[in-house]
Amino acid sequence: MQARPEIADLRPYQPGKPASALRRELGLERIVKLGSNEGPRGPFPAAVEALADAAPGLNRYPEGGAELLERLAGRHGLTPDRVAPGNGADGVIANLALAYLRPGDEALMGWPSFVSYRLSAVKMGATPVPVPLRDGSYDLEAMAAAVTAATRIAYVCSPNNPTGGIVSGDALAGFLDAVPERVLVVIDSAYHEYVTDPAHVDAIAAHAGRPNVVVLRTFSKIYGLAGLRIGYGVAPAPVVAELGKVRGPFDVSELAQVAAVASLDDEPELERRRSENEGERRRLESELGARGVKLYPAAANFVCAEVGDGAALAARLEREGVIVRPLAPFGAPACVRVTVGLGDENDAFLTALDRSLQPA
Ligand SMILES: *Cc1c(COP(=O)(O)O)cnc(C)c1O
């Protein structure tokens, strides 16, 4: 059977190596998974409780999601018609492509960056236009210069996955002022809750009033709900309405909804996780620096290290039971991305790294 030619060259998404597979392969008790930027801690306690409470009702389809939309909107001081939920932020990215991209359209993005921007555009027959990063962060001047009459979406990932750098509030405002209103600017803030650098702005508070700005958030990272799949976009009401047309029915599960809502009330837990991550990331940065490893500036829960041959180092670490992400699929074959784990996980990574760096 002939599928659409647009997808002929695509490969199924390659997730980071699963810990269970490596545990079996190596016969090791303990695998340290620092490959997929998940938070190292599980769901918030209130979310675990809400999940248990909701389980017996799962014979029913999810409710309409009104509470979720109200709570998310309230969090940002907006009305519920400004919130587009998704099966992960990735689901929102897919819906944006479905709603806005046609063959011949261009989707602008920094590169290396989150591969979904590229894949979702290709699937629609649109053309991804990659703009090289500057020292690990989006180069918004170069991005503005790359806008053409065909540009429909421009992605800004800050902090950028996989390099970790942010764009400053000033640079972002300048970019938004420079880009024509017919271009939908999608600001991906998947790591927003981790960032402590004062140069970073809350893009929702600063820019959600603009008619062409969508800001993405997720529960997959600091909230520890990656396995459940829930994220959302904050957008102008007409954009939310368009996304509603292409979203699948019930694509945010009941469990995802109740867990997300329950997570929103625990600010102290959020703050604990943020500060724990910050301390551990700084420690990793200094330990890696002391070993002469070149790092990109990092603002979230991961670091990007230039190591010569990323795939080779990742393979050596894997044999030590530590999973990191080689970045060839992101367009950075010299690099690995290492998620900040708990203290003892980061220790295990450093020990494995020292063994891996020793000449054989
Ligand atoms: C993890 C991540 C997401 C969110 O993914 P989910 O689909 O919500 O799990 C979005 N953008 C970037 C840049 C990410 O790293």
In a domain, 51, yes or no: yes
In a domain, 3, yes or no: no
Res 360: pLDDT: 56
Of 116, 179, 192, 117, nearest to 151 by C-alpha is 179
11 or 232, higher pLDDT? 232
Regarding whether 205 and 275 lie in a shared domain, the answer is no
Q: Is the pLDDT of residue 1 over 70?
A: yes
Question: In CATH, what number is assigned to the domain containing residue 279?
Answer: 3.90.1150.10
Greatest Cα-to-Cα distance within the chain, rounded to the nearest angstrom: 60
Distance 44 CA to ligand 1 centre (A): 19
Regarding whether 154 and 293 lie in a shared domain, the answer is no
pLDDT mean over 164-190: 98
Regarding whether 162 and 28 lie in a shared domain, the answer is no
Res 71: pLDDT: 97
Regarding whether 110 and 71 lie in a shared domain, the answer is yes
**Mutational test site, ligand 1, from 220, 222, 339, max ligand atoms within 8 Å of CB:** 220
Res 358: pLDDT: 76
**Mutational test site, ligand 1, from 155, 221, 339, max ligand atoms within 8 Å of CB:** 221
Residue for token pair 């997959």: 220
In a domain, 231, yes or no: yes
Query: pTM, whole model, 2 decimals?
Result: 0.97
Domain limit, last residue, from 243, 263, 283: 263
Q: Is the pLDDT of residue 175 over 90?
A: yes
Q: Is the pLDDT of residue 359 over 90?
A: no
Regarding whether 132 and 27 lie in a shared domain, the answer is no
**Relative to the CA of 157, which ligand 1 atom is closest?**
13
In a domain, 180, yes or no: yes
pLDDT mean over 27-56: 96
Q: How many domains does the chain have?
A: 2
Domain limit, last residue, from 263, 292, 323: 263
pLDDT mean over 179-184: 98
Distance 161 CA to ligand 1 centre (A): 9
pLDDT mean over 268-288: 98
Domain limit, last residue, from 200, 228, 263: 263
Distance 88 CA to ligand 1 centre (A): 7
Determine which residue's CA is closest to atom 14 belonging to ligand 1.
190
In a domain, 353, yes or no: yes
pLDDT mean over 286-303: 97
Regarding whether 259 and 303 lie in a shared domain, the answer is no
The pLDDT tens digits for 251-261 are 999 999 999 99
Say if residue 13 is exposed, middle or buried (CB neighbours under 10 Å; 0-12, 13-18, 19+). exposed
In a domain, 350, yes or no: yes
Regarding whether 141 and 94 lie in a shared domain, the answer is yes
Question: In CATH, what number is assigned to the domain containing residue 126?
Answer: 3.40.640.10
Range of the structural domain that residue 326 is part of: 14-37+267-357
**Mutational test site, ligand 1, from 109, 187, 188, 195, max ligand atoms within 8 Å of CB:** 188
pLDDT mean over 144-153: 98
* Distance of alpha carbon 43 from alpha carbon 61, whole angstroms: 23
The pLDDT tens digits for 66-85 are 999 999 999 999 999 999 99
* Distance of alpha carbon 32 from alpha carbon 330, whole angstroms: 22
Q: What is the mean pLDDT of the chain?
A: 96
Regarding whether 272 and 241 lie in a shared domain, the answer is no
Distance 190 CA to ligand 1 centre (A): 5
Regarding whether 235 and 118 lie in a shared domain, the answer is yes
Distance 302 CA to ligand 1 centre (A): 13
Regarding whether 167 and 71 lie in a shared domain, the answer is yes
Distance 89 CA to ligand 1 centre (A): 6
Regarding whether 228 and 156 lie in a shared domain, the answer is yes
Regarding whether 141 and 111 lie in a shared domain, the answer is yes
Res 87: pLDDT: 97
Say if residue 337 is exposed, middle or buried (CB neighbours under 10 Å; 0-12, 13-18, 19+). buried
